[in-house]
Structure 1
Amino acid sequence: MDQIDKRILQELQRNGKLQNNELAQLVGLSPSPCLRRVKQLEEDGYIEKYVALLNSSKLKLGLTVFARIWLKGQDVITVNSFLDAIQDMSEVVECQLMAGDCDFFLRIVVADLDAYRKFQVHRLNMIKSIQNVKTEIPLQTVKQTTELPLD
């Protein structure tokens, strides 16, 4: 990967809807070599997919909470039971396996605090492998980006 490939990735991170002609101009290539490079970046797995980032407030999903999860055990059955259960929960938009205090860290998006409470009581707490859930409610989003640092 050279500097032009990195510039292509940076521009596509900022705007995945860029037309090839626009992208080529931004990175200093003619359209044909630019398109070849983008296709190669896709084939090599640098570009996994293209998505639309949605405005959660407009969709009445204005609350993001973070939940720290402790499981009853670390065995494969307990962990897989938890992982299987959260796969079908659309409210869970991110799940990280953690090293440290808790076992998993979830980012959950819902309409409001009442919706989260219902989600926690009726769905999250129903997962048999969970021992404990601690919820963190952010007061303000200071920075949120999907762009990876390519410098």
Structure 2
Amino acid sequence: MKFDKFDREILRVLQKDATVSMAELSQKVGLSHTPCWRRVKRMEAEGIIKQKVTILDNKKLNLGVSVFIYVTLKNHDGESLNDFEASVQSIDEIVECHTTSGDKDYLLKVIVESIEEYEHLLKSKLTNLPLVDHLSSTFALKQVKNTTELPIKNI
């Protein structure tokens, strides 16, 4: 899909506030209502705009401990990888799971209330994930940057 300046501006505005009305959006990007609406609908249909969500403040919800966990598996065949990936889906505290290059297989991001809660999660669920050989946990001390906005200036 080709993007022009209006498409990019629509995406910028929606990334900052997905609750903006179509009238406000069209005014902010400099288009009339109908062409703006058509562009948004096209980007939704093409999967560029995947969903509109509400972003919660984890600290205000008493979920202030973020842990990054490198995972190394015992086996690397397709079935083992699929089993591991399917199993992480059922653990709510795992908010992100990425395959990685190098000597580690996965990087997990876990958000919990406390270190004690993480210890319980580690012992009761994480060490029991299929084919886990090694887990290496790192606790985030301070979040320096947090954005859900993609750098769309060059699309």
Query: Where do 1:30-41 residues align within 5 Å?
Result: 30-41=32-43
- Deviation string 1:49-105 (CA, Å, 9 cap, x unpaired) is 111001111211111110000000111122122112111001000000001120000
Match of 1:149 among 132, 147, 151: 151
- CA RMSD across the alignment: 0.8
Aligned residue among 7, 10, 20 for 1:8: 10
Deviation, structure 1 residue 138: 1.2
Is residue 117 of structure 1 aligned with residue 119 of structure 2? yes
CA distance in structure 1 between the partners assigned to 2:108 and 2:132 by the alignment = 13
Q: TM-score, normalised by structure 2?
A: 0.95
Shift of 1:36: 1.1
| Structure 1: stretches of 5+ with no match in the other structure | none
Counterpart Cα distance in 1 of 2:46 and 2:69:
34
SS of the residue 1:69 aligns to: strand
Q: Which letter maps to 1:120?
A: L
User: How far apart are the structure 2 equivalents of 1:82 and 1:129?
Assistant: 7
Percent identity between the two aligned chains = 36
- Counterparts of 1:37 and 1:128, CA distance in 2: 44
Deviations 1:100-140 (CA, angstroms, capped at 9, x unpaired): 12000001011011111100110000113100000011111
Structure 1 distance, partners of 2:43, 2:87, is: 34
Q: Which position in structure 2 is the counterpart of 1:18? A: 20
Q: Which runs of 4+ in 1 moved over 6 A?
A: none
Q: Residue 80 of structure 1 aligns with which residue? A: 82
Q: How many residue pairs were aligned? A: 151
- 1:10-63 deviation per Cα after TM superposition (whole angstroms, max 9, x unaligned): 100000100011111110011111111111111111101111001111211111
Who is 2:97 aligned against? 95
Matching residue of 2:46: 44
